[in-house]
Structure formats: C-alpha cells, structure tokens
Amino acid sequence: MFVFDRFEPGAVYGVHRETLSADALRAWQEMFPDDPVGPAIPAGYISVVMMRAYFAVVTPRPPGNIHAGQRLVVHALPRLGDRIEISVRCARKEIRRDRRFVWLEFNATGSGGSSVFDAVMTSIVAE
C-alpha cells in the first residue's frame, strides 16, 4: 500500500509503457471535440498519459488521497502508435500543517530514448 511512510525521496517505483492508440484518443475527442488531432496527439492528452502511469505504478493506494497539483513540461508531442515509457520517482515528501505531501516525478521517453515530457505531481496522502 502506498501510504506516506512508504514513499522515499529518490526511489523509482516503476515504469509504465503505453502505446498511443486511436481508441484511447477517441474518448479524448468525445470530451474535447474542438481539440485538433493531427499526426501528433493533442498537448492536453499528455496529462492523461501521466495519470495512467500514476495509476499503473503507484498502486494500491489508500482512499482519500488528494491530487493537489501538477506541472508538465512537454518536449515533443508523440504520434499515434508511438510507444512511450514513463518512469515514476518520488522527488520529495514532507508534512506541512498536519498534511502529508508527496511530490512524484514522471519522465517520459519515446522511441530511441527521446524526451517526450517531464512532470511533477503533488499529492496530499491520506495516511
């Protein structure tokens, strides 16, 4: 269980691999029909890829965690069919005002090791 005490700054918890499929992108287009889709995926879809990595790697989690923020830096927009590898690492953790904060880093690479995006997600962990 990923509770506050389990998170260790510097620890890598795993890698999520995902191939960007047309089926997954269709659901995005249903929600955001005006978001243009060309050969590259829409920039906003990067947050979906990041969250899929979180749900796949940081599991199981206790109920009650709060997604407090995220910062994404996109280096290149991948294309449909591209395979992305996203590593998930604990950047830091601290207790502030009796709340347990955890910062997770996500580093995504595409074919040939090219950088796709870097992200930091802040969570308030329930336990």
**Angle ∠(69,94,117) on CA atoms, nearest 5:** 40
Give the best-scoring range by mean pLDDT among 13-27, 37-51, 89-103: 89-103
- 85-123: burial string, b at 16+ Cβ within 10 Å, e else: bbbbbbbebeeeeeebbbbbebbbbbeeeeebbebbbbb
Mean pLDDT of 43-69: 94
Boundaries of domain holding 100: 4-125
Q: What integer is the mean pLDDT of 83-102?
A: 97
In this structure, what CATH number is given to the domain that contains residue 103? 3.10.129.10
Phi, psi of 10 (to 5 degrees): 95, -20
Bond into 9 cis (ω within 30):
no
> pLDDT-based confidence at 91, cuts 50/70/90?
very high
Q: Which of 19-23, 33-37, 59-63 has the highest mean pLDDT?
A: 59-63
Report whether 99 contacts 105 (CB < 8 A): no
Nearest to 74 by CA among 32, 37, 110, 27: 110
Per the structure, the count of domains in the chain is 1
CA-CA distance, 41 to 75, in Å (whole number)?
Answer: 13
In Å, the largest CA–CA distance within the chain is 47
